[in-house]
Structure 1
Amino acid sequence: MSLSSATLLNSVALSPDSPPLLHADVGSDPVGWTAGHRAALRSVVAEHGCVLVRGLGLSDPAGAETVFRRLTDSLMADREPFAPRRTYAEGVYSATKWPTDQPMCQHHELSYALEFPGLLLFACLEAPAQGGATPVADAEAVLGSLPVPLVERFEREGWMLTRTYHEEIGASVAEAFGTDDRATVERYCRAQGIEFAWQHDGSLRTRQRRAAVLRHPVTGRRCWFNQIAFLNEWTMEPEVREYLVDVYGADALPFNTRFGNGDPVGADIVAAINEAYDAHVKREPWRSGDLLLVDNIRTAHGREPFEGPREVLAGLGDPVRPADLAPSAGGRAA
């Protein structure tokens, strides 16, 4: 039986420290329940920016994919990932491979790409023994708590992502672009406003400039939308950064971020951004079978360190393209 959006909204538990939580009574048919409550669930996400649905009993990739497809009209391929991930189906992936003892800082999925998901769908098939939550943060609130001069500069200039694709660390060229054919990679880069240069050792170096602040295509609200802190060298553990600089050089790190004019983003700025995120983070430990829906523009997400097996699938839904967005300072293209 389907609940109205208003009824479902009233059933959502709100807490200052946790994402909105909805306990679902699905019986033995999570797919049918999800399909019947699609409009209501989407209304909850529109109202709150995210929702954690508990009690769906999701336990395998096929079931998770089916639920994902009931909740979005379109799933998009992951392009330009910064780390490898397993592909279960078009638009359905494993969690990004990242050291389990290190956090993934708050960020917005594919905010460095011209096309990115508007809706993220996370299915927890196996919850870790300890840690491993997917914390979220309101991007409008984060924007409002950042120093005004810093925001104004990023709005003026945008931000720049620089990458050097090495075979032995991070995503390879083939993993990032779906091919290692140079002509195909170059066509993609030109179409996406990415500057590129092949190095003497065969590696690929790229840079792309994107907007740091977007207006939400539905609400019109300004949101801090980027991966400036997460992909910056100063977010790395000190010993990791020192090792990578020693091996590859400061200008050939697997990824790094800069101001839109190419100036470096210093450790103090990265710390200020991460502090703003931390002030607005909400977290809830995963339970096996949970489903988390996230408005990717309005809400940032991360991943906490964990112990034990953890299996969380990610769906990239509702592709957002440049034509869907209002013009903003800093631009979306290089």
Structure 2
Amino acid sequence: MELQQNPIELSELQPGQTLPLVISPTCDTFDLLEWAKQNTEWLEQKLLEHGGILFRNCNVTDIAAFETFTATLCPNLEDYTERSTPRSEVHGKVYTSTSYPSEQHIPMHNEMSYAYAWPKKIFFFSVLNAETGGETPIADSREVLKRLDPGLVQRFVDKKIRYVRNYMRGLDLPWEEVFQTTSKQEVEAYCRKTGMTWEWKKDGSLRTIAIRDALAKHPVTSELVWFNQAHLFHVSNLPDEVREALVFALGEENLTRNTYYGDGEQIEADVLAQIRAAYEEVTIKFPWQTGDILMLDNYLIAHGRTPFTGARKVVVTMGDVTSDRNL
């Protein structure tokens, strides 16, 4: 498909670095929304080709305009359900990015790859840049898979991943926030629908166990990708002193979140180290510029967040939710 007009230029952040594709206007009067309406199919092709597109200097100055733009490319924007991180609604279907303390690093992950359903697309909009740090690094999930030992991959294919969560107010998200309801009956219905087991504790808190696949196949390209959060949910992701204190106080079975192989066996430390190293090898990091919009194919590209200082505001939309890993 040919572009109907060409008021843009395509570039790379670094020579030979095809992720992300950078789109910038060639004139001051460029209207990103109108241009996107005319070139939606072309953008879809480019997203499949590169995995991520960075719209830079495109004259988007407020959150409402960002939401309108993303709804043009992804009409089915979705609410944030089966939550694992704290977020706040900003405007319509726009949320804050994960509200973790600024000194913490958020590991690479595909959005909601632990869950029953996840978005095919996710968009980020930089409203306010941090003084230092605060990047949203990205990594190609196909390349992560290629760098993992085939025997390790096959073990996860055969055994799958067991996600164990204990929803405790004050230590992590309470179940009411995760499932966006105060009804235990609604939570139980959701668990039945999504194949999770659940247990209500005497203090009213909740434990769930979900067994999910470690891989996914892209619905269009049929490419296999590493698509899970085994390393992120695992207790070893916590700082040593925090992990030791929580295990001492709660016991491993009561940790707010942890992962195992699907049969309940421990995931070995060297396996988790290999997964983290694979992400590190292919991670791309670049500084935000105010007004940047980053569009990612959530199957193909994982993302994270670096620590930062000063105020930072990056907002998010996500959509085209599916529950089909196509395996």
The alignment's TM-score, normalised by the length of structure 1, stands at 0.91
Distance 1:3 1:117, change over 3 A: same
After superposition, give the CA deviation of every residue in 1:130-149 in whole Å (9 maximum; x if it has no partner).
Answer: 11111111111110111111
Q: Which amino acid aligns with 1:38?
A: T
Distance 1:21 1:164 in 2: 41
Distance 2:127 2:310 in 1: 13
Shift of 1:30: 3.6
Indicate conservation of the 8 Å contact 1:69/1:75, yes or no. Answer: yes
Distance 1:9 1:294 in 2: 19
After superposition, give the CA deviation of every residue in 1:230-276 in whole Å (9 maximum; x if it has no partner).
Answer: 11111111122122223322111111111111112233222111100
Hey, what does 1:115 align to over in structure 2?
117
Matches within 5 A, 1:1-334: 4=3, 11-13=10-12, 15=14, 19-25=20-26, 27=29, 29-89=31-91, 91-322=93-324, 325-326=325-326, 328=327
Shift of 1:188: 0.8
Indicate conservation of the 8 Å contact 1:134/1:283, yes or no. Answer: yes
115-124 or 243-252: bigger deviation: 243-252
Distance 1:57 1:244, change over 3 A: farther
Distance 1:54 1:244, change over 3 A: same
| Count of residue pairs brought into register by the alignment | 324
SS in structure 1 of the partner of residue 169 of structure 2: coil
Distance 1:276 1:302 in 2: 14
SS in structure 2 of the partner of residue 11 of structure 1: strand
Distance 1:242 1:187, change over 3 A: same
Q: Which amino acid aligns with 1:283?
A: K
Q: Please, which runs of 5 or more residues in structure 2 have no aligned partner?
A: none
Distance 1:82 1:248 in 2: 20
Distance 1:259 1:6 in 2: 51
Distance 2:61 2:267 in 1: 42
30-39 or 156-165: bigger deviation: 30-39
The alignment's TM-score, normalised by the length of structure 2, stands at 0.92
Q: Which amino acid aligns with 1:109?
A: E
Indicate conservation of the 8 Å contact 2:8/2:24, yes or no. Answer: no
After superposition, give the CA deviation of every residue in 1:111-136 in whole Å (9 maximum; x if it has no partner).
Answer: 12222100011111111111111111
| Aligned-residue identity in percent | 33
Q: Please, which runs of 5 or more residues in structure 1 have no aligned partner?
A: 329-334
